[in-house]
Structure 1
Amino acid sequence: MPTQTAPRSQRYAPPEVRRQQLIEATLDALAQKGVSGTTMAEVTRRAGLSMGIVSLHFQSKDNLLTATLRSLAEEIRDAWAHSHKDSTLSPAKRLSSVVAASFDASTSSPTKMRAWFAFFGEARYRQIYRDMVTDFDEERIDAIETLCAQIIHEGGYKDICPKTLAATVECLCDGLWLSMILYPDWMTPAVAKCRVMDVLARHFPMHFQLSGAQTGAGTQAEGAT
């Protein structure tokens, strides 16, 4: 297929626009072709730009993929961190918002989820994935643990370890993302969020309500306080 010619306004876009355009083209390529099939030539073809442009901004495939992975991680972090820092919200509302960010349409589209798992499944890039994503994951787990501890204190809950529960929520979210890729007809983002919220509701019944998602017909659970 011949390389598409970008519109004049697109060809003369600012550097940050060009970078984002190339990252979006990389996401599309990763989702359809995996890491090994995502070449500089493939990305430029999808972006409708020249090889010189992608080389100017990223120099190499490794740099391009690393920038794409960082963009994905920062997008999710920004999605949950905003609500987490809102002191006007109760701990339950903030925890609900942190969970919701994992299943928001802007961060959990099929293309982005497939791109995540493309990185994770490629042995060559797995260490880059771990090195970059670990800090983001630990920050989110720490935030969830802190909120769980606050809810435990508020509700006087007994025999609940906030650290263990935070790790459970994190692992559950990762597993649900995989289910959303494999079974998109029934594991939708809304149902996936409900699954996590139901776990929280069983631990914190005074703060969250069961959604009914275990039957596949529930609505999204919200913090009650």
Structure 2
Amino acid sequence: MESLEKVEGTKGRKRGARRDPEANKQLLIKATLDTIADIGITDTSVSRICERSGLSRGMIHLHFGGKDNLLTAAAQQFSAEYYAEMDRLTDLGPDASPEDRVMAVVEADLSEVLLNPRSTKIWHAFRGIASSHPGIASYSSTQDEKLVDTLRRAFREIAERSGHDPGLADDATSGTLALLEGMWVNYLTDMQGFSRKGAGALIRRFLAGLYPGCFEASSNE
């Protein structure tokens, strides 16, 4: 009876799979991302994705045309989820100061919502093969146009208000993003010893050096 129920459950799942193609696509993408987080991208085979998702190889070819396109779709969704959370966490309203907008980006990127074991393993796996996989390369950059523009505009506002060199905006933007990327590397290599508070304070000190009189540390830092 147990084996019959298992067979019937499998048949039901396959029938449901045919009826809901979008759900199948999401299952395959989630299975791909979860497998990459668990064992790395090199060992993320079609067989492992099928085993985790409960779907067949044929479903991968039906919805994505093959593993490479599935990996690209997974990278695209992972990137979209990151930036959706970034937008949510940095929505401070129109009255926020430019310093607060910059630090909201820093704090969001260093938060457990975005910076966690699963996300860092997936992101570094995608970055590791981006040079040989154009599809993944399109979705694994930290230089997102909207994020870059958000930071650059904030730094220009700071310069206009405080009399600092407006040309610093590009350096401050690139430096902030480079420091954040480095923090993700540090987190991946030493998750137990990594300090989110310390990382945020270091970036604030870097920005305070570029813009004296701005980015003063709060009392709890």
TM-score, normalised to structure 2, is 0.78
* Separation in 2, partners of 1:119, 1:128: 10
What amino acid does structure 1 have at the position aligned with 2:36? L
The residue aligned with 2:87 is: 81
Question: Who is 1:49 aligned against?
Answer: 55
- Aligned residue in 2 for 1:12: 16
Partner of 1:223: none
1:222 aligns with: none
Identify unmatched segments of 5+ residues in structure 2. 1-8
**Structure-2 residue corresponding to 1:33:** 39
Letter in 2 for 1:12: G
Corresponding residue pairs, total:
211
Structure 1 Cα separation of the partners of residues 150 and 11 of structure 2: 44
Deviations 1:125-152 (A, max 9, x none): 4543433345953432232111111112
Cα offset, 1:56, TM superposition: 2.7
Deviation at 1:94, TM superposition (A): 1.7
Distance change (3 Å), C-alpha of 1:157 and 1:123? closer
- Structure 1: where are the runs of 5+ without partners? 213-217, 220-225
Q: Which moves more between the two structures, 163-172 or 57-66? A: 57-66
Deviations 1:71-114 (A, max 9, x none): 12212222333536842322222212222232232322211211
Give the aligned partner of residue 104 of structure 1: 111
Distance 1:37 1:89, change over 3 A: same
CA distance in 2, matches of 1:67, 1:95: 30
Conserved? CA contact 1:73–1:136, under 8 Å: no
Give SS of 2:55's match: coil
The residue matched to 1:132 in structure 2 has which SS? coil
SS of 1:148 mapped into structure 2: helix
Amino acid at match of 2:55: L
Q: Which amino acid aligns with 2:115?
A: S
- Listed as ranges, the matches of 1:171-186 within 5 Å are 171-186=178-193
CA contact (8 A) 2:130 2:140 kept: no
2:162 corresponds to: 155
In the TM superposition, what whole-angstrom CA distance separates every residue of 1:158-206 from its partner, at most 9, and x where no partner exists?
A: 5861101110111111111011000111214444333323322343454
Cα gap change, 1:10 to 1:181, in 2 (>3 Å)? farther
TM-score normalised by length of structure 1: 0.76
Separation in structure 2 between the aligned mates of residue 211 and residue 6 of structure 1, nearest angstrom: 57
Q: How far apart in 2 are the matches of 1:168 and 1:125?
A: 26
- Cα distance, 1:53 vs structure 2: 3.1
The two structures, once aligned, show a CA RMSD in angstroms of: 3.3
- 1:201-220 matches, cutoff 5 A: 201-204=208-211, 206-210=213-217, 219=221
Q: Residue type matched to 2:84 in 1?
A: D
